[in-house]
Amino acid sequence: MIDGVLLKGYGGFYYVYAEGRVWECSLRGRFRVKDQEFLPGDQVSILSEEAEGPHLAKATIESVGSRRNALTRPAIANVDQAILVFAMTSPRPDLNLLDRLLIQVIEADIEPILVFTKLDKYRADPLNDGPDHALTDVYRNIGYKVFEVSSETGQGIEEIRAHLANKISVLAGPSGAGKSSLFNALSPGKKLKTGRISHKSKRGRHTTRHVELMVCAGGLVADTPGFSSLYLPEMKRAELTDFFPEFAQRRGLCRFNSCLHDKEPNCAIKAALENGEIYPERYEHYLIFLKEVIEAERKY
């Protein structure tokens, strides 16, 4: 028996990474009877059959382990970290989307890592006359792991590569942000199709169609299509603060224990906002999300 990780399922076969190679696996009969659902990232035990060449061997899946976590959009299991990829320019980062993804990832008990790409293009644009790290320092100061990179020059790539070893990671973020280019820079010799930016809309075109784990920098990485930007996890309105670390650390300082940091007087969050201790756009997004959570509560 060999322990491995499911990379993908395709055409009735399942491809498992184990012992430094990829195995083409069929299912033991009992799994077909149970109609077992398999997801990329599942920990499986396989029984080796006759090898076919040096790179592809055949096996059967004998057992599947319990999942530590699972995402439904995209469908993938046992994720250690989510690499949230946003361009510093072309297109400009959608921070509302970024804050939504942070909530989704944290709610799933997955560690977020923020990667801002196209640093070389940002520096080359004369309109960007501010400091390189003004925006990224906002999230770094909150406590998130943040990296600025250029897939063209290689700046920052080694730092990210060091965070991938022995982990299952997902790449998520808007189309055109440079996810595929980042993967190609992290894993030379393996090429994902990269998309072009529409000059009219300044937005990218999706290039990824299905979920598949790929070996990269000593770990497994999925370029995840369809990572939803439209929903927030089901929660109570008072729980939204938990997803904003700079708010949560001020818990208990408001006049009212039930303070939602909106229209209430003597609010510690609004005082911190006025003092420049909370980034204004983060607070704006909090109010947008709070409205959505309250509307969702009423539907339930």
pLDDT tens digits for the chain (300 residues)? 899 999 999 888 999 999 999 999 998 776 665 667 889 999 999 998 865 555 578 999 999 999 999 887 778 999 999 999 999 988 889 999 999 999 999 998 999 999 999 988 888 876 665 555 678 999 999 999 999 999 889 999 999 999 999 999 999 888 888 888 899 999 876 555 544 444 444 444 433 446 889 999 889 999 766 565 578 999 999 999 999 999 999 988 999 999 999 999 999 999 999 999 999 999 999 999 999 999 998 876
Please tell me whether 181 is known to bind a ligand.
yes
Residue-wise burial string across 171-195, b where 16 or more C-beta atoms lie within 10 A, e elsewhere = bbbbbbbbbbbbbbbbbeeeebebb
Please give the CATH architecture assigned to the domain spanning 2-66.
Beta Barrel (2.40)
As to burial, measured by CB atoms within 10 angstroms (0-12 exposed, 13-18 middle, 19+ buried), residue 82 is buried
Please tell me whether 216 is known to bind a ligand.
no
Contacts of 32 (CB under 8 A, 6+ apart): none
Q: Model-level pTM?
A: 0.85
- The pLDDT value recorded for residue 242 is 96
Please tell me whether 117 is known to bind a ligand.
yes
- The pLDDT value recorded for residue 189 is 65
- The pLDDT value recorded for residue 225 is 61
Please tell me whether 25 is known to bind a ligand.
no
Please tell me whether 177 is known to bind a ligand.
yes
Q: Does residue 280 have a cis peptide bond before it, meaning omega lies within 30 degrees of 0?
A: no
Please tell me whether 270 is known to bind a ligand.
no
For domain 71-223, give the CATH number: 3.40.50.300
Please tell me whether 230 is known to bind a ligand.
no
- The pLDDT value recorded for residue 53 is 58
Q: Where are the beta strands (DSSP E) in the chain?
A: 2-10, 13-18, 21-27, 43-52, 56-64, 70-72, 75-77, 81-87, 111-117, 145-148, 168-172, 213-216, 219-223
Please tell me whether 174 is known to bind a ligand.
yes
Please tell me whether 259 is known to bind a ligand.
yes
- The pLDDT value recorded for residue 35 is 66
- The pLDDT value recorded for residue 50 is 64
Please tell me whether 254 is known to bind a ligand.
yes
Q: Which residues on adjacent β-strands are paired with residue 72? A: 75
Please tell me whether 66 is known to bind a ligand.
no
As to burial, measured by CB atoms within 10 angstroms (0-12 exposed, 13-18 middle, 19+ buried), residue 275 is exposed
End-to-end CA distance of the chain: 47
Two domains, one topology: 71-223 and 237-299: no
- The pLDDT value recorded for residue 32 is 62
Please tell me whether 120 is known to bind a ligand.
yes
- Token pair recorded at residue 277: 């201790």
- The pLDDT value recorded for residue 2 is 94
Domain boundaries defined on the chain: 2-66, 71-223, 237-299
Residue carrying structure tokens 């510690």? 268
Please give the CATH architecture assigned to the domain spanning 237-299.
Orthogonal Bundle (1.10)
Q: Does residue 188 have a cis peptide bond before it, meaning omega lies within 30 degrees of 0?
A: no
Phi and psi (nearest 5°) for 231? -120, 155
**110: enclosing H helix or E strand:** none
Please tell me whether 195 is known to bind a ligand.
no
